[in-house]
Each structure stands twice: as C-alpha cells, then as structure tokens.
A and B are shown apart, each in its own frame.
Chain A
Amino acid sequence: MSQTTEGGTVPPRAGAGEVVLEMAGLTKRFGAMLANDRIDLTLRRGEVLALLGENGAGKTTLMNLLFGHYLPDAGQIRVADAAGALQPLPPGAPDAAIAAGIGMVHQHFTLAHNLTALDNILLGTEPLFALRRDRRAARARVRALMERSGLAVALETQVGRLSVGERQRVEILKALYRGARILILDEPTAVLTPQEADRLFETMSAMAADGLSVIFISHKLREVLAFSHRILVLRQGRNVGGMATAEADEAAIARLMVGEESPPPPAKREAPGAPLLVLDGVTLPGEGARAGLDGVSLTVRAHEIVGIAGVSGNGQAALAALLSGLAAPAAGTMSLAGREIRRFTPAGFLEAGVGRIPEDRHHDGVVGAMTLSENLVLEELDTPEVTSGGFLRRGAIRARARAAIADYDIRAPGPDVPVRLLSGGNIQKLILARVFGRSPQLILANQPTRGLDFGAAGAVVRRLLEARERGAGVVLISEDLDEILGLADRIAVLQGGRLAEARSRDRGAIGMMMVGQAA
C-alpha cells in the first residue's frame, strides 16, 4: 500500500487565504492524564492542515475540543463568521460548532445504523417539531451536493448495510450539507482501501481549492506529505512543531513525532525447526457474507513467521477463531506441537502455549472498565504468581504491571488506570505485554499493526521478530501486503476460504491470488 502518491499531489499553498480558525492555549485533562497541553493552532481558508502524531499524542482530543464534544480546561477557540471576522466559539456545544461552519468526521462514525443514508444526513437539520418532512426537496439538495463534491452514496439504503467507505462519504456529506467551511477528518484512511483513500484525498483537494479548509488527523507520513499544505506535529499532548509540507522531509517529521529515531534491529534468522502447528484439510462454516475455511492445510514451524495475506472477509475470521480455540473444525484435524487437538476451548489453547493478538483489540483484547494491571493478568488468573489461596495477589500484580509499563513503553499514568482511557496503540502494547509475558510457542497475530502509529507498530514488529528468534512460530494475518512481505518467511493467501501458498514474493502475483486468479 505504498504507491498511492501518483496523480493526487496538491501544490502547497500555505498562507494563502485569510485565517478561519484560531485555537489558543487549549488544555484538556482526563484524570491524571494531560491529553492536551496549551496547544495553539491556526487554519486558513482553502488550506489542508495535517495533524500528525503518535497514538495518544492528543490529536483526537484536540479535535473533540474544537467540535464541542469535550469541554476544555483552559484556552479559547475563535472561528471566522460569514463576514470573515473571528468570533469566540462557545465551548462544549456541538450545535454551536456546527453553526459556526465546523464539520467533523469521526474515526468511529457517528451514524445511526437503523436509518437510511439520507435520514442520517438530514438528522438535526429540520425543525424538530414539524408535522412532516420534505424528504423530496432534501434529497434533491443532497443529490446536487453529491454531484458537486464527487461523493456518491446510495441515499435510500440503511447505513448498517453500507460499506465502510460509503459510511465515511455519508459522514462527509452530512458535514457539507450543514454548510461546513472547516472539515475535520479523524484518521480518515484507517478504514479505507488504498484506492478509496486516494479518491478521498483527491476529492478533499478539489474541495480545498474551492475554499474549504480541512484538518486531517493521520499518522501515515506518506499521505500527509502527499496531500497536505501544512503539517502540525503533536507529541504527548504538546504542539512540538509545524512546517509547510513543501519544506518538510520524512526523517525530520518522524523525529518530531517520536522524539528520537529507533530503527528496528536487524533480525537474525535461524533455520525453521519442528512443526508447531499443523492444519490438515480443515473446514469451518462461514458466517453471513464472510467466508469460512474450505479444506485448509497449513504447517507452521519453530523459528518461522507465516504470513496470511488476503482481502478481509475471505476466511481470516474463521482462521483466527480456529487458532484461538473459539471454533472447532467441521472436518479435518489440527495439531499443536505434535498433539492432535480434540477439545477446542480458549483456555485449553492458552495452556498449550498459544498467544493471541486479536484483530479488534478494543472489543476482544481488553476489558475497558478494568484496570491496566487487571487486564494484564487476565489470561493467567490460575497461576501462583497471580493468585494465592483464591485471592488475587494485588501487590505482585501491580509490580508486574509497572514492569510491563516500563518494558513495553505503555504510555499510561499508572497500573490502576482503566484501560478504556488508553489510546489504541497503548492498548496494543498492553496486549503484547500479556501475550509475550507467557513466552508462547505459537503466536496468532491478527492485523497486529492496523491503525497503529509507527512507534507502536515498530514495537509489535520487534516483539514478533524476537519471538521468532526465541523459537516460536507466528501466524501473521494481515491485509497490509507490505507488512507481510517485510516480516513473513513464507506467505500464503486466503481467498474464498481456501489457502494457497504463494510461490513467489512478487506483489503482482500475490495480488492476483488475493482476488482469486491463479498467478
């Protein structure tokens, strides 16, 4: 997913239009966590500003302050009115932000799934106590908007049935329909395919040339360099520097983001050892539109990373469920370290030395309401290090959490913080600490770096390489072909529930296999 820059580059126009937005000294605390620390920011008309930073740097918090989802502890926001004069924006009021011409597209979309796309766009735009709605006129207006902006969606389809890319277009249309002059996009490409991402940025660039001001949050340097006019970098809640994109270079920005450079260590490679995981003709029924597994055979040896490439929905979920002990095969056998598995239970798999990095880390990886230290020991509540005589050894657990915070660089105020307050990258580091703390023999890593900044993604990669060196086997499921090419010793492709080994490491050939055509 790295060659998306052709064709969509925008000429930098930093300093072009008048100032439309000004933030001064914005500060926000969550408990002991200082999420935003006296941040200043200005935005001009027709400018695309990239807000760059690692997970937990405070980018999303800043934008939620701007849109009124959070109340700032200190600082002021001023927005240009229709005449161009800067007016203070009342804090903590989304309706005031909307009225001032600010539109926000959240990373987790704020759409009602039971309503149609059109109804989601119209929600809140009509007088609440009207006796009837003029959907026909509204639909015509939205149609015109779709034509002008190049964003097309099926308006009468329930949002729950739309694809992620379409949902995002509904979100943007929603903002534009309400007359947004400033558009905020929170990690807009995290959920998109590369083609969708390119189209999105081309649309945004055209609309910026038309006078729209855009702030987009990202930690992908490539798209930031290709599509923004100006870059602002946040680190640990502070504004650590800004520059015109034309004058920016990758290394300099990376240094600003993480503080210091830490290239991944060169990996030592040992010859593959004994087979750890053997799947033989495993078949598993699918779920709805998602494919199951159809006669899958796979061997993973010690000192080996096997990459499973493929477009999501082709059996990845079934494979992950199988390897976690959440599903039993309908046909075929599975053995771990030479022993055939007959009972498929998650606890049994943990016992057998399987470590799992789940795909949805928020949902399947942690219990948000529990503390960091509690989440860390969730998988070994029956070991003497954690429990004694039926009671939790709180002191020992805390000490372990403190060690994990240091070893795995988890950015958290302490071992007692509820996990839901952590950013995605830090949750992933916590999961790494939990998985690798048990020295698993077989590791299932399902989309382990998706949505992570390169600091956290680097930590994941480093730990996987270390595990391989130690003699573990790794099954790496990823939609990111570059990640698989960079890490995996062998590559197999899942397509329609069938698994086939890739004979070459050629991107084109693997790509053909991914869409179901033999190379």
Chain B
Amino acid sequence: MTEVLEILANANFWAAAIRIATPLVFGVLGALICERAGVLNLGIEGIFTAGAMAGWMAAWLGAGLWGGVLAAALTGAGFGLLHALLTVPLGLSQHVSGLGITLLATSAAYFAYRTALPDVSSPPRIEPFGALDIPVLSELPFLGPALFQHTALTWLALAMVALVWWVLARTPLGLAIRAVGDNPDAVDAQGLSVYGLRIGAVMAGSALMAVGGAFLTMAAFDAFFFGMVNGRGWICIALVIFASWRPWKALLGALLFGAFDAFQVRLQTELGGAVPGQIFLMAPYLLSIVALVLAARRADYPRALLTPWFKGQR
C-alpha cells in the first residue's frame, strides 16, 4: 500500500501518464472523427507508424520540427484518402481495407527507412521537441513537473480535443458529420455530399492519427525504431467506444490508460521479482478490456457505422 502512495505522490508519475496519453489523444480523436462519419478506420496502427516515420524523417532532412509534424499529417491524410476511396465510394469492407492500410503503411514506413538509411545500425537522432516552459506554472512545486513541463505537441493534443469538440458540437460541418454517421440518406436529401463528408472526415482523422505517431519519434523519443507503435493504434479503437464517441471523454480515456501504464511500470520496479513482469505489462490492456466491457454495454454506436452508402440506392 505504501508503494502505491509513494508512486502517486511522485510528480514523475503524473508527467509520465500525460506523456503516454498524448499520442493516444491524437489517435482516439482521429478514430472518433472517422467513426462519427460512419467509417471504421483500422488503418490507425499503420498510420501511426507512417506518421512516426514521416515526421522524424522530415525533421532529420532539415524540415524543422513543425515541418515534420506537417509531413506526418500529410502522410496520414494520404493513407486516409486511400482508405476512404476504398470504403466510401467503392463501399468495400471497412475492416478488410483498414487492416490492409495498416499492413501497407507499416511496410511503407519500414521500406522508406531502409531505403533512406541502408547502412546504419542505429538510427540518426534528431533534436526532439523540448518541454515548453510556462512562466510561474512550470516553477510550481509538484504541480509544475507533474502538469506543466510538457512538449508543444501535448498542448496541441489538448487544443485538438477542444477544437474537435467545437467543430462536432457547434458548427454546421460537425452537424453534417454527425448526421452522415447516423443516416446518410438524411444528408443526401439535404443536398450535401455524403462522399465528400465521409472522405474529408477520414482524411482529417487519419492526419490526427499520424501526428500521434510523430509524437513518438519527435517528442517521446528522438528516432524511429521498428515496432515502436506497439499496439497504440488498437488501444485507440477501443478507447473510442469507451469514450462513446465524445472528444472530452476520449481525453479522459486516454489519460486513464496513460495512468495505468505509468503506474504498472513503477509498480513493477517496486515489486520486482515477486510477480512476473509480464503481468504488469498486461495490466493496462486487461483494465481497458474491463472498462470497455462496462462501457460498451451501453455504447450508442453511430447508426450508419460500417454501412456503405451508394448514391441512388435504397
């Protein structure tokens, strides 16, 4: 028990939780936008990888850190466009296309890495995003290191939560996106383009996913490694359901998962030896499955999720 309290009383734990949550926030928001428009995007795992690769590579080639973020977003939007073209106008299975995108984007990222750096054993490092110094707040005891010493990308993730919420809840565009995920016929009957809205939403969502990936190589670490995404995309797919497709609840879900993950790492070192380490590694996933089971029973899926819509057919 004292070990638990010790962990919670350490500012490092809270900082780690937020750091782990940051890429998930981007990913959940991205998946949420896609699904609100009626398209499941299982390409997320691959898009994370491609975004991590593209952002880091662009920065290494001299585009600057923000240039890297932009490169990641564009890469994500590109894979999103491919997924959208396959699933929206062509109406192919969203599961199959999404998994295909994941395989394609992951392999493309590894291929680009090997092509650009054929002979290196360890990847070149970039100067990553540093912690953003906020006057006064960053200096506070405990709260400063726990909450206010994060990189610009973490603050961008928070801003994105607010932005996505505002767009979905308060703008005509958000209204149309929510409607197209519930009943595309309603959108078509009002003279709006079902295809346009869905393709746009999937591209925007995929761009956010890729920025989540870029956080890994440009803020959490400083280089690209194979297998570094490590299932974060899949967690986002589960968190969307936990969040019932609402941006602020998505933030909450990502933070909870981040806290679990940070907690288990620390508990592992505290209790090392007594319990196999794999149990700790499993814990966040087990807990998210439990949370999902509880949340999903009441889940109010967008009614048209997974249902292709074709112009001129009922």
Which A residues are within 8 Å of any B CB, using their own CB?
Answer: 67, 69-71, 92-99, 104, 106, 108, 110-115, 119-120, 122-133, 174
Contact = CB atoms under 8 A, between A and B. Distances in A.
Contacts of A123: 175-176, 179, 186-187, 190, 192
Contacts of B182: 112-115
Given A71-B312, A106-B185, A114-B300, 14 more contacts: A95-B192, A98-B191, A106-B189, A110-B183, A110-B188, A111-B186, A112-B178, A112-B187, A113-B183, A115-B179, A123-B179, A126-B175, A128-B172, A128-B176
B302 interface: yes
Chain B interface secondary structure, helix, strand, loop or mixed? Answer: helix
A72 to B, nearest CB: 11
B293 interface: no
26 contacts: A67-B189, A71-B312, A94-B191, A96-B191, A98-B190, A108-B185, A110-B186, A111-B183, A112-B187, A113-B182, A113-B183, A115-B175, A115-B179, A119-B179, A120-B186, A122-B175, A123-B179, A124-B187, A124-B191, A124-B192, A127-B172, A128-B192, A129-B171, A131-B171, A132-B170, A132-B171
Contact of B190 (A92, A124, A130): A124
Contacts of A104: 189
Contacts of A98: 190-191
B112 interface: no
A122 B186 CA distance: 11
B303 interface: yes
B175 A119 contact: yes
B173 interface: yes
B172 A94 contact: no
Given A124-B187, A128-B192, A114 B302 contact: yes
A114 B303 CA distance: 9
B204 to A, nearest CB: 13
B33 to A, nearest CB: 15
Interface string B151-195: 000000000000000000011110110110111011111111000
B31 to A, nearest CB: 18
A32 to B, nearest CB: 17
A96 B191 CA distance: 8
Contacts of A69: 188-189, 312
B197 to A, nearest CB: 9
A188 to B, nearest CB: 16
Contacts of A99: 191
Interface residues of B, number: 25
Contact of A133 (B172, B185, B191): B172
Given A126-B172, A133-B171, A114 B178 contact: yes
A298 to B, nearest CB: 36
A69 B310 CA distance: 10
Contacts of A115: 175, 178-179, 182
Interface string B281-314: 0000000000000000000101100000001101
Contact of A94 (B176, B189, B314): B189
Contacts of B188: 69, 94, 110
A99 B191 CA distance: 9
A437 B129 CA distance: 74
Nearest to B173: A128
A126 to B, nearest CB: 4
A422 to B, nearest CB: 12
Contacts of A122: 172, 175
Contacts of A113: 182-183, 303
Contacts of B176: 123-124, 128
A461 to B, nearest CB: 28
Contacts of B312: 69-71, 92
A18 B166 CA distance: 47
Contacts of A95: 191-192
Contacts of A93: 191
Contacts of A70: 312
Contacts of B191: 93-99, 124
Nearest to A93: B191
A113 B180 CA distance: 11
A133 B190 contact: no
A122 B302 CA distance: 20
- Nearest 4 CB-CB pairings of A with B: A95-B191, A124-B190, A126-B172, A112-B179
Nearest to A114: B182
Contacts of A112: 178-179, 182-183, 186-187
A113 B314 CA distance: 18
Nearest to B196: A128
Contacts of A127: 172
